[in-house]
């Protein structure tokens, strides 16, 4: 039995985790992580690539890793992996799944208390023994206890980009069999949820069974859980489950509505139907006398209930029906509305491309302006910027702007910084250094676990600094891994609104911070948002699509997001927020 993609991805993840616990080279660790992600996204079994000598062609996989995959597929194991396993037991790696436990903590728990599994950890927490580790107080113990609870509650969910690319692959594969097949992603992915439990696809075709048969025969499918005349459930090689429903074309609209959800939205919708003497299902509306009214498109479903079409991102039963009834649904922002991107990095700090490269790609993507916001030199950040380097950087940016101007291109690179908010609330750069910049992004990266009052005050102090224009990823949450800081966001939003400080929806798919609910509340309190890529590489400039979807889930219209504005308006806003 050869190893599946999932097994290999898992082994590389374990290698990276073990190396991290052992404190080995950062770049080697990164290479294994990247390979693991790349393998998780593959549409076909690794053995297929190996047979075509195409392992090295997979993006994210270099020569060394390709050789290691070969050894794994041929022998079922890898010397490096065996060696690491003998140093770090598998159960210690499980500790990393607990939010709050990083590699250093895991190592200390293992070295000092012999904790080598989640069960060991639970027992030690219950016995109150974590305090025996130097520097580990009652608070650490409490946090780890909460982390263990979070871990047991959460199911395995995948991030939006993986779900999206998988859906695109499956749709393309189905269209190779049925050219022009009407098929689309539904469920939580169509509602643009940040994570997806399983993938849902809907197709329309008279011969529904033929589409189901083609689907379960796709090479991406590892296991068929269920298949019938109109639907199937499968597990893909990546481990993700995918459900397909196929309906006759006249039922497309009702099926699309039903299968998009959310469940809460659908329950309300069915109540509204019942009030009109109709019962609604994926097949359409059934009248009291038994006749079925089908809906070929979704607009018809809502129109039958006297409502305008409701965008999928709003379908969470959070006031969308009332807004639809009163004609006050928001005119949601789109990616095309964005003119600029106000937060990204270059090789001046931890980015992986030059300012010129970041600018060229952003320009090619149609942005009118960007801000280069490298990290302030602070704590662990390698090669961050201090006051002197900011002056050098300003000269490089001015030269690039002059080149664009000379070519008659109306593209503008603004000069900014992403300055750390230090644990005491002061900024990691002096005001004099910030004063010369077009724009200042401030963010919390360290001491995220301060008590609520302290960390809220810290953020308020940054908002009150007249040089600060944007607060990046305000809560610091990492999806599926780390809860955000314990902030009093009501107070933060009020302060940001009063100061004209822009709050970010960070588009990194692991962050999406602010999340949709918080961002919506911020808008209600009068905050203006920004949707930024926080790109560290030109490829990541596209991440804005995820941030925009989050903004849509927050009910945001274009005017409420500052980087839809012309550059002069952004600069004027940032200048005038200086009190
Ligand atoms: P997920 O998969 O956890 O990310 O979330 P969803 O929303 O994709 O949930 P899923 O896959 O269970 O179902 C997709 C949609 O289909 C759901 O939003 C509404 C509809 N649906 C599926 N099963 C049921 C059900 O048993 N009752 C109701 N009312 N709706 C359902
Ligand atoms: Ca789903
Ligand atoms: Ca499903
Ligand atoms: Zn950043």
* Structure-token match 């009501």, residue found: 490
Closest listed ligand to the CA of 535: 4
Spatial distance between the Cα atoms of 375 and 345, rounded to a whole number of angstroms? 8
Question: In whole angstroms, what is the distance from residue 190 CA to residue 180 CA?
Answer: 20
Element (H, E) at 341: strand 340-341
Ligand 3 centroid to Cα of residue 200, in Å, is: 5
- Residue 275 and residue 186 share a domain: no
Sheet strands (E) in 35-173:
158-159
Q: Cα(31) to centroid of ligand 1, in Å?
A: 36
Q: What is the pLDDT of residue 222?
A: 87
Ligand 1, from 164, 184, 188, 271: best to mutate by most atoms within 8 Å of Cβ?
188
318 and 212 within one domain: no
Q: Is the CB of 197 under 6 A from ligand 1?
A: yes
The pLDDT assigned to 579 comes to 47
Report whether 417 contacts 374 (CB < 8 A).
yes
Q: Could you tell me if residue 256 is inside a domain?
A: no
Domain, as residue range, for 75: 5-153
Considering the domain boundaries, does residue 252 fall inside one?
no
| Closest ligand by atom to 261 CA | 1
Ligand 1 site, residue 280, Cβ cutoff 6 A = no
CATH classification at residue 303: 3.30.210.10
Which of 217, 247, 277 is the C-terminal boundary of a domain? 247
CATH of the domain at 532: 3.20.20.140
273 and 215 both lie in a single domain? no
Instruction: Name, in order, each residue with C-beta under 8 angstroms of 137's C-beta and a sequence gap of 6 or more.
Output: 131
Question: Beta strand 231-236 with 241-247: parallel, antiparallel or unpaired?
Answer: antiparallel
Instruction: Say whether both 289 and 227 belong to one domain.
Output: no
d(CA 533, CA 541): 6
What is the Cα–Cα distance from 237 to 567, expressed in whole angstroms? 46
- Atom number, ligand 1, closest to the C-alpha of residue 193: 4
Residue at a domain's end among 291, 326, 361: 326
Q: Is the CB of 312 under 6 A from ligand 1?
A: no
Pair 490, 367 in one domain: yes
Ligand 3 centre from 233 Cα, in Å?
8
Compute the chain's Rg from CA coordinates: 26
For residues 12 and 115, membership in a common domain is answered with yes
Low-confidence ranges of the chain (pLDDT < 70): 1, 152-155, 379-382, 576-579
Contacts of 166 (CB under 8 A, 6+ apart): 41, 43, 199, 220, 236, 238, 240, 242
Q: What is the CATH number of the domain that holds 242?
A: 3.30.460.10
- For ligand 1, the distance from its centroid to the CA atom of residue 263, given in whole angstroms, is 6
Number of domains in the chain: 4
341 and 313 co-located in one domain: no
Quote the pLDDT of residue 461.
98
- Does the Cβ of 263 fall within 6 Å of ligand 1? yes
How far is the centre of ligand 4, averaged over its atoms, from the C-alpha of 574 (Å)?
18
Q: Is residue 255 part of a domain?
A: no
Name the pTM for this structure: 0.80
Residue 238 has a pLDDT of: 84
- Please tell me the distance between residue 176's alpha carbon and the centre of ligand 3 in angstroms: 24
* Orientation angle between helical segments 355-364 and 387-406, nearest 10 degrees: 40
- Determine the 3-state secondary structure of 508 from DSSP: coil
Distances (CA, A) of 103 to 29, 174, 378, 465, 506: 12, 42, 21, 35, 25
Sign of CA dihedral 544, 549, 553, 555: positive
What is the distance between the alpha carbons of residues 290 and 264, in angstroms, rounded to a whole number? 26
Same domain, 313 and 367: no
Nearest CA to ligand 1 atom 30: 263
- Helical axes 5-21 vs 103-113, angle rounded to 10°: 70
Per residue in 107-126, pLDDT tens? 999 999 999 999 899 999 99
> Which of 153, 178, 196 corresponds to the end of one domain?
153
């Amino acid at each position: 039995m050869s190893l599946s993609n999932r097994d290999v991805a898992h082994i590389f993840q374990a290698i990276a985790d073990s190396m991290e616990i052992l404190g080995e080279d950062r770049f080697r660790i990164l290479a294994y992580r990247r390979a693991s992600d790349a393998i998780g996204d593959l549409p076909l079994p690794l053995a297929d690539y190996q047979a075509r000598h195409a392992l090295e062609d997979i993006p994210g996989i270099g020569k060394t890793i390709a050789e290691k995959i070969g050894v794994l597929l041929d022998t079922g194991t890898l010397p490096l992996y065996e060696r690491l396993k003998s140093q770090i037991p598998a159960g210690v790696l499980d500790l990393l799944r607990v939010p709050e436990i990083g590699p250093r903590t895991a190592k200390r728990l293992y070295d000092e208390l012999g904790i080598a599994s989640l069960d060991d950890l639970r027992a030690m927490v219950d016995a109150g023994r974590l305090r025996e580790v130097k520097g580990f107080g009652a608070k650490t113990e409490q946090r780890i206890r909460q982390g263990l609870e979070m871990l047991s509650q959460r199911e395995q969910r995948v991030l939006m980009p993986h779900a999206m690319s998988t859906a695109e692959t499956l749709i393309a594969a189905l269209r190779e069999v049925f050219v022009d097949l009407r098929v689309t992603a539904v469920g939580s992915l169509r509602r643009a949820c940040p994570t997806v439990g399983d993938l849902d696809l809907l197709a329309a075709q008279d011969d529904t069974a033929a589409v189901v048969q083609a689907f379960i025969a796709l090479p991406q499918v590892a296991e068929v859980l269920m298949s019938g005349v109109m639907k199937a459930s499968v597990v893909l090689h990546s481990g993700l489950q995918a459900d397909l429903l196929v309906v006759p074309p006249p039922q497309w609209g009702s099926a699309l509505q039903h299968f998009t959800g959310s469940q809460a939205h659908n329950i309300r919708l069915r109540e509204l139907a019942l009030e009109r003497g109709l019962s609604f299902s994926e097949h359409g509306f059934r009248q009291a006398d038994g006749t079925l009214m089908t809906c070929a498109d979704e607009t018809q479903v809502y129109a039958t209930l006297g409502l305008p079409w409701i965008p999928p991102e709003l379908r969470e039963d959070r006031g969308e029906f009332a807004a639809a009834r009163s004609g006050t649904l928001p005119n949601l922002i789109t990616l095309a509305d964005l003119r600029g991107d106000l937060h990204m990095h270059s090789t001046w700090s931890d980015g992986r491309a030059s300012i010129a490269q970041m600018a060229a790609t952003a320009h090619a993507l149609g942005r009118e302006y960007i801000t280069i916001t490298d990290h302030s030199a602070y704590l662990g950040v390698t090669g961050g910027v201090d006051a002197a380097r900011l002056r050098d950087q300003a000269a490089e940016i001015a030269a690039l702007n002059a080149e664009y101007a000379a070519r008659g291109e109306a593209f503008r690179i603004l000069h900014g910084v992403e300055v750390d908010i230090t644990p005491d609330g002061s900024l990691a750069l002096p005001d004099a250094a910030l004063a010369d910049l077009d724009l200042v992004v401030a963010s919390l990266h360290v001491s995220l676990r301060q008590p609520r009052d302290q960390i809220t005050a810290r953020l308020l102090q940054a908002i009150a600094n007249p040089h600060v224009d944007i607060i990046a990823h305000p809560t610091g949450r990492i999806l599926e891994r780390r809860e955000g800081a314990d902030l009093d966001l009501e107070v933060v939003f009020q302060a940001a609104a009063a100061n004209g400080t822009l709050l970010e929806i960070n588009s990194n798919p692991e962050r999406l911070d602010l999340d949709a609910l918080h961002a919506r509340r911020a808008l209600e309190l009068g905050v203006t948002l920004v949707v930024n890529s926080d790109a560290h590489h030109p490829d990541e400039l596209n991440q804005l699509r995820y941030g925009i979807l989050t903004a849509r889930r927050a009910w945001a219209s274009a005017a409420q997001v500052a980087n839809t504005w012309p550059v002069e308006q952004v600069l004027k806003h940032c200048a005038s927020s200086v009190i």
